[in-house]
Amino acid sequence: MEKTYDFGLVGLGVMGRNFILNVADNNFSAYGLDTDSEKVKSLREEGAGKVVDGTTDKKEFISKLSRPRKIMLLVPAGGPVDAVINDLSPLLDKGDLIIDGGNSFFTDTDRRAESLESKGIYFFGTGVSGGAKGARFGPSIMPGGDKDAYEIVRPVFEAVSAKVNGEPCVDYMGARSAGNYVKMVHNGIEYGLMQLISEAYDVMKRGLGLSNQQLHNTFDQWNKSKLQSFLVEITAEIFTKKDELTNKDLIDVILDKAKQKGTGKWTSQNAMDLGIPVPTIDVAVSMREISSMKADREKAESLYGAKSIKGDSSLTVKDVEDALFFAYIVTYAQGMTQLWAASKEYKYGCDMETIAKIWRGGCIIRSGLLEDMRKAYARDKALSSLLLDKDIAAKAKSCEVSARKVAAYAIGQGIPVSGMVAGLSYFDAFTTGRLPLNLIQAQRDHFGSHTYERTDREGIFHTEW
């Protein structure tokens, strides 16, 4: 009888090849498909000695997979995903499972799942975080779709995922497009954290005058304390890398124009649709857009003059550390509140403790803080905001003074810290029992008869101003 393989993967680029090799490492046989014969050849070379193979022929690919077939797609989001589905679905049987492992927009996943469901084929939108290295040695995986169908692929995903305290960094996220949605917000939080780290770097480099070596030492030390996180860890490494072309520090020759693939923007846009404020994520997206305006920024600097930044003897590296930690808390809180609201709106059935748990390892936003978040949601399954948990609140309070100190210094010196300021303003608004929005309601009623509510009695009111 011809051998069949446990798991199929379409798209043998770096991510796909690494993921399928990870599957083979964990005692599951795996078979790949790609239109590029060189990529199939690379898989065979890297997978020598493992039970893994590949082909460029879709019919051969399908025939090699054991039933129910488990087929993961790691191809670019959008049209390529639809093209692969259209190619393969006529060859599949009822009960087979297609898994989209890319960053697809969640409504596309709902559409694809509905179409395939009519054919008896399961479809999962599955977030995979950890980059190429994570794909090879253990990512965080966020699958969403039919709960019973998850059992088809659960053993494979649990085996290949990252582990924290022996627990796999994968679990069922919820119905329909929950997996893609959770990954989208993960990426939005990632945007926010990266922006905040860049602001801390700017304050310390231009404000405190730290050298790249000192910045390396600082971030390396932070990664051993409350700011322990993957992004802080790699930031420390960046400051020691030399440029092969000039032998200068590489960080100093990298152009200050940050690109983006859209997931941060999607998070921001959908948060507005839901009526959930995520200002740190909004600002992070905007700052990447401002960074692309390089020529205009240089003209503006010549017009308005370069900033004359003066050091502040009272500002310390510890202040910046605390300000960054405070901003980390607020950014996670914004993203998790969006997930909480989306789960209710779209009826995903997400468990917030589970999300925090599987983000503790493998993914780009993993950090020590996620265990504290997991505990917060374990204490209160209905927690609408992390800032309402007493232990999280205590951590935020302990760093609040430094957050204000760093923001005030940066604003005074003209150092842009829009992420930190947005987070601080969000915190101040969220922790204020009475905001000045009563005036806005009065204005709306004055010019448009939009009515208002009162503090002293029930009902809807209008005044002839």
Q: What is the pLDDT of residues 276-310, one digit of tens each?
A: 999 999 999 999 999 999 999 999 999 999 988 88
CA dihedral (319, 324, 329, 333) in degrees, to 10, reads 140
From CA 382, how far away is CA 378, in angstroms rounded? 9
From CA 123, how far away is CA 103, in angstroms rounded? 15
Mean pLDDT throughout 401-422?
97
Secondary structure letter of residue 291 according to DSSP: H
Residue 307 confidence (pLDDT): 87
Q: Cβ distance 31 to 25 under 8 Å?
A: no
Token readout for 165 is 């305290």
Mean pLDDT of all residues in the chain?
A: 96
Distances from the Cα of 359 to the Cα of 184, 190, 374, 411, angstroms: 13, 12, 10, 33
Catalytic positions: 183, 190
Q: How confident is the model at residue 1 (pLDDT cuts 50, 70, 90)?
A: low
SS3 100: strand
Considering only CA atoms, which of 270, 186, 200 is closest in space to residue 239? 200
Q: Cβ distance 185 to 198 under 8 Å?
A: no
pLDDT in tens, 362-380: 999 999 999 999 999 999 9
Q: At what angle do helices 390-413 and 369-379 cross, to 10 degrees?
A: 140
Residue 310 confidence (pLDDT): 84
Q: Cβ distance 280 to 330 under 8 Å?
A: yes
Exposed e or buried b for every residue in 206-230, given b needs 16+ CB within 10 A? bbbebebeebbbbbbebbeebbebb
Residue 393 confidence (pLDDT): 98
From CA 338, how far away is CA 320, in angstroms rounded? 27
> Model-level pTM?
0.96
Which spans in 278-432 are helix H?
Answer: 279-291, 294-304, 317-345, 352-358, 369-379, 390-413, 418-430
Which residue segments constitute the domains of the chain, with CATH numbers given? Answer: 7-176 (3.40.50.720), 183-430 (1.10.1040.10), 436-465 (1.20.5.320)
- Let me know how long the chain is: 465
Question: Kindly report the CA angle at 321 between 315 and 324, in degrees rounded to 5?
Answer: 110
Q: Cβ distance 129 to 363 under 8 Å?
A: yes
Task: Output helix, strand, coil percentages for the chain, rounded to the nearest 5.
Answer: 55, 10, 35
Residue 369 confidence (pLDDT): 98
pLDDT in tens, 219-236: 999 999 999 999 999 999
Residues near 462 by beta carbon (within 8 Å), at least 6 away in sequence: 445, 449, 451, 452
Cβ neighbours of 37 (radius 10 Å):
11
SS3 289: helix
- Pairing between β-strand 70-73 and β-strand 140-144 as defined by DSSP bridges: unpaired
From CA 163, how far away is CA 159, in angstroms rounded? 9
Secondary structure letter of residue 6 according to DSSP: S
pLDDT in tens, 117-134: 999 999 999 999 999 999
Token readout for 158 is 């649990």
Distances from the Cα of 202 to the Cα of 28, 199, 214, 301, 362, angstroms: 47, 5, 13, 17, 28
Residue 428 confidence (pLDDT): 98
Token readout for 181 is 């949605």
